[in-house]
Structure 1
Amino acid sequence: MSASGETPRRSSKRRRNVITAGQAVEGPRVIVVGAGLSGLSCALHLVKTLGASVTVLEARERVGGRCWSHTMKLSHGGEALDGGAENGLADPLRAAVDLGAGWIHGIRGNPLSRLCTSYRLEMAFTGSGQVIPMYDACTGHMAPPQVDEKVERVFNEGLTAASAVGEVDLLAEEMVARHAPRLVASAQATSGAQQTARPVKQRFPGAGMFLPLMEVYLGQVASWTKLPQEDVQEVAVVLESMLFAAECIGTESLMQQTALGDYLSVHFDMCIPYATPLERRLFWWHRSNLEYANATDLGALSAAYWNFDDEHSFSGAHALLRQGYGALAAELARDAEKRGVEIKLAHEVSLIDSARGFVSGKRREESGAKPVAFKETADFIVVTLPLGVLKDARVRFTPALPAAKTRAIEQLGFGNLNKVALAFPYCFWDQHFPVLANVSASPGEFFLAVNMKPVAQANVLVLLASGAFCNALESMSDAEAVQRAMASLQRMYPRVAVPPPTDFIVTRWRSDPLARGSYSFIKRGATPDRIADLAAPLPGGKVFFAGEATSSKHIATAHGAYLSGLRAGKDITEAFTGKPSSSSSVPATPESATSAPL
């Protein structure tokens, strides 16, 4: 659905000319498999820069792929609910909620925030690093801030140490230059030169127990060394990573084989050896939150590369779209169709022949009749299928995919995140907070509620399920999933009678045959190099790949999907013209909004 509630129309194909070496050359014929953000951005790029004749084949009956905005009903007993007319939609009794991609992560320089400005889609800024109310569902009270701050500090220090170990070679070079004199002095002061032959943890007895240093030890070491506590802590973190690496020398892949969850659990137990039940629940809440960010149980996530792409993140506040991500996808589709792109919905591709340049599959008929076979030929093919669908081998390639491609598909992870959206007759929660934390004894079970009140003036909560519980939810009925969600809310607000929902929807992304999950991550044992293998074109230079899983700088993000489509379009332009593309990576904007501030 678009912002106005319309479905993109199917337009007639137009074939344009592109000027190459002073002569007009007919643009190539291109098939794009998938009408998600990557497929739509690629199609737009090709018609704008190459005059290509582009057909987008989409298996679903809507555009957007994993950008799916569902319309929640905001009425009860025939009466309009609070704020309906202000939600920005055509129908004042409805509100859009995102069941797939949700946030624009960092608005500064982000191509999606620029597109929203161009298409006049309203963003609701949720801030970055804002205070989140932590509801202890086991006691019915707010978790004391000082306790959560302590646990969060230890959790983040564990993440820092894991990241440091993952880059031990670079760290060793940097730290020798910056801190070698201090490290040597500290080592001599604490262990003595006569102990250098002893095992590493015996020479540094605190290293395997309290690094990063607990406050009591931090003060002592700072006093001994006459150094600022910040410097001592930095050295401690690096020393822990270097010691861990030293223990692993001789193994095949150091931290590549270590799961981030295992590392964090050991780190937490060492730093808070006598943790209270609340401290452990808070630790698991922060773990669930990270599992949401990576769409997987931390037991499967690489400790070495879990955040390898952080340096490329966009800065600024995060934002939700009032009309939903589906509106952005619909605007891109509308823009593409205006430029001559043909978008064919309900066309599921089952075969991609890279040697003969065609795709085939079946088209579902609106009447419910038997699907009709189709075949489309092209000069170039762009595959934007989700990694989960590639893993599922739902689409056959001939000739068979090369070994590097199949290895990438196998070794990269494709995670899962599910949501239960609930509409209520009135707002019973703290409506001023964009998100609400549920600190429960069941990790990942609706650990976070996204508050749609400040976004769409709607009495809607979107509850997130991550980790192992997310996968367990897939086998629940709608009634059971809603009952579990309602029970979680009642434990968060024990002094309020939580009203029955007036509308709800439950996602099951892993069970969806056209997705088989939510987004990608680096599995334990894999490296980021596999992303480049997945993104590489097939031999012959006719079949290209795009999608968030192919984005080496922005994996697992909607903007990564969008940018990967631009990259694939640029690669095809270079392959067709035989020269480097002169186009920039600046996102395409609609002709009607060329003067809009970006």
Structure 2
Amino acid sequence: PRVLVVGGGIAGLGAAQRLCHRAFPHLRVLEATGRAGGRIRSERKFGGVVEMGAHWIHGPSQGNPVFQLAVEYGLLGEKEMSEENQLVELGGHLDLPCVSYASSGRNVSLELVADMANLFYTLLDQAREFQHVVETPVPSVGEYIKREISRHMADWTENNETKKLKLAILNTHFNVECCVSGTHSMDLVALGPFGEYTMLPGLDCTFPGGYEGLTSNIVASLPKDILVFNKPVKTIHWNGSFREETLPGEMFPVMVECEDGDRFPAHHVILTVPLGFLKEHLDTFFQPPLPLEKAEAIRKMGFGTNNKIFLEFEEPFWEPDCKYMQVVWEGSSPLEDAAPEPKDTWVRKLIGFLVLPSFGSVYVLCGFIAGLESEFMETLSDEEVLQSLTQVLRRMTGNPQLPAPRSVLRSRWHSAPYTRGSYSYIAVGSTGDNIDLLAQPLPADSADAQLQILFAGEATHRMFYSTTHGALLSGRREADRLTSLWHTKAQPPQPEP
């Protein structure tokens, strides 16, 4: 069979690797850009490697195929592979900051920070318990946690200023969770299915030499001419009868038309493009259009933006053992709607800065920001971003003389034409069933026209959506689906007894 994989991210590479092992000789991977890896993108910068996209292996333990491959390819250190690291259960809770700065330049009590983290994560864990409830008390995770916070506030005995500070710390946690979920607001994340997302055990870890080591190794394991770069696909024509001049007798049910006019007939297409791209091109990408309920599932599912801003410093202004600095925006509260003007206030969505392992004499902070403010940030120049963040750092440290960062580097996932955001979440109005519906091959109902378009990518994995391991597993799942189809076809019919 002729198989085309559309998209050279980890889902597409995982499918191709699986199919090559199963001896599918007529295989091509069409990648829209000039590089493989998709939302895995490591850049050599600041004398080291920084991750523009995927950052951690979430749950690096035996049940995680990304971890298994990383071990197989020798990409991790001993600590990352150690038995005890694999047994740690984090439950999706982030480490506490080593310093918490209020926006007025004072330090926030770490005891208060720990109390509020404890409250927030208790409520977040409770929000995962509604998956088997017929009707949820409120539609979204955000509304549920806010309702519970209001109840807890009745028992707060501190003075007014401390109560306000507590709310501001909780607001930072909401912003962190927006980064984790890849959403503008937790009010957009559906409460009922929230608990279906499954966390694997293991202490989240990074790749010392860059995440791209993983995709490079997969690419190296594939036959040379399989990957075709700079080949954006315009339309997938399916349920048809297409010919190719070199094979006059053969009919193909699918034909992939590229932006440059090239056409590739195929028996099967494994589509691994991001959900953000599908949302944007839904009306033109499939000919005939997708069945209504599948198109509806794509529209309803959530897909948001989470970006990183790297700042390079000549000298660190933080303590040597500091790993994460939190920013608490005073006056902010999760119980009040933020002003909709991102122009001057976009920085208030920033959750703080991770301190990256130092590259020799270079010191780098990595800020995270999600949602519409993050998308607005993409429209600014490097100079504007650098200026804004210098002001933020001077405000929070209370040091108006703090030297400006030497340089800035940032991701722009929303502007990336073949991605249009970061990753998926289950939005209010959709359920895990929408993910399964998106993952169903086409055509849905006919036994003769088997598996013309198969769907993979992180947004098609019901338990591990938004993750690299979810994407990898989805690609393998569709490769296995094709393998079993052809395995069945290859079995000679047994004579009847």
Measured in 1, the distance between the counterparts of 2:96 and 2:441 equals: 44
Q: CA RMSD for the aligned pairs?
A: 2.5
**Match for 1:440: what amino acid?**
W
Measured in 2, the distance between the counterparts of 1:68 and 1:558 equals: 12
Measured in 1, the distance between the counterparts of 2:484 and 2:200 equals: 28
Identity %: 28
Which of 84, 99, 113 pairs up with 1:148? 113
Specify every segment of 5 or more residues in structure 2 that has no aligned partner in the other structure, as ranges.
157-161, 240-252, 333-346, 444-448, 492-497
Residues 64-143 of structure 1 mapped to structure 2, 5 A cutoff? 64-72=37-45, 74=46, 94-109=47-62, 110-122=64-76, 128=90, 130-143=95-108
Residue 308 of structure 1 pairs with residue 193 of structure 2: no
Instruction: Compute the displacement of 1:287 (Å).
Output: 0.9
SS in 1 for 2:196: coil
CA contact (8 A) 2:96 2:114 kept: no
Instruction: Compute the displacement of 1:426 (Å).
Output: 2.8
Q: For the structure 1 residues 29 and 397, does the alpha-carbon distance in structure 2 shift closer, same or farther, using more than 3 Å as the test?
A: same
Instruction: Compute the displacement of 1:454 (Å).
Output: 5.5
CA contact (8 A) 1:447 1:464 kept: yes
CA contact (8 A) 1:288 1:467 kept: no
Match for residue 239 of structure 1?
Answer: none
Instruction: Compute the displacement of 1:444 (Å).
Output: 5.5
Instruction: Compute the displacement of 1:166 (Å).
Output: 4.1
SS in 1 for 2:123: helix
Measured in 2, the distance between the counterparts of 1:144 and 1:111 equals: 40
Instruction: Compute the displacement of 1:55 (Å).
Output: 0.8
**Match for 1:264: what amino acid?**
I
TM (normalized to structure 2)? 0.82
Match for residue 295 of structure 1?
Answer: 182
Match for residue 161 of structure 1?
Answer: 126
CA contact (8 A) 2:133 2:192 kept: no
1:520-569 CA-partner distances (Å, limit 9, x unpaired): 00001211011110011011322101000001121000111111110010
Residue 464 of structure 1 pairs with residue 368 of structure 2: yes
Measured in 2, the distance between the counterparts of 1:303 and 1:477 equals: 37
CA contact (8 A) 2:386 2:407 kept: no
Match for residue 46 of structure 1?
Answer: 19
1:487-531 CA-partner distances (Å, limit 9, x unpaired): 222334334854333332222212221111100000012110111
1:133-160 CA-partner distances (Å, limit 9, x unpaired): 2422334343223212322232233224
Measured in 2, the distance between the counterparts of 1:544 and 1:331 equals: 25
Match for residue 419 of structure 1?
Answer: 308
Number of residue pairs matched? 437
CA contact (8 A) 1:50 1:573 kept: no
Residue 333 of structure 1 pairs with residue 205 of structure 2: no
1:314-357 CA-partner distances (Å, limit 9, x unpaired): 211111122222232222112223xx551111100001112232
Which of 482, 487, 497 pairs up with 1:572? 482
Match for residue 55 of structure 1?
Answer: 28
Q: For the structure 1 residues 476 and 291, does the alpha-carbon distance in structure 2 shift closer, same or farther, using more than 3 Å as the test?
A: same
SS in 1 for 2:386: helix
Specify every segment of 5 or more residues in structure 1 that has no aligned partner in the other structure, as ranges.
1-27, 75-93, 170-252, 363-371, 582-598
Which of 407, 412, 417 pairs up with 2:296? 407
Q: For the structure 1 residues 550 and 491, does the alpha-carbon distance in structure 2 shift closer, same or farther, using more than 3 Å as the test?
A: same
Larger Rg: 1
Which of 431, 439, 449 pairs up with 1:535? 439
Instruction: Compute the displacement of 1:63 (Å).
Output: 0.8
CA contact (8 A) 1:259 1:298 kept: yes
Q: For the structure 1 residues 321 and 491, does the alpha-carbon distance in structure 2 shift closer, same or farther, using more than 3 Å as the test?
A: farther
**Match for 1:163: what amino acid?**
R
Measured in 1, the distance between the counterparts of 2:322 and 2:72 equals: 28
Measured in 2, the distance between the counterparts of 1:167 and 1:491 equals: 46
Instruction: Compute the displacement of 1:413 (Å).
Output: 0.4
Runs of 4+ in structure 1 over 6 Å off: none
Match for residue 552 of structure 1?
Answer: 462
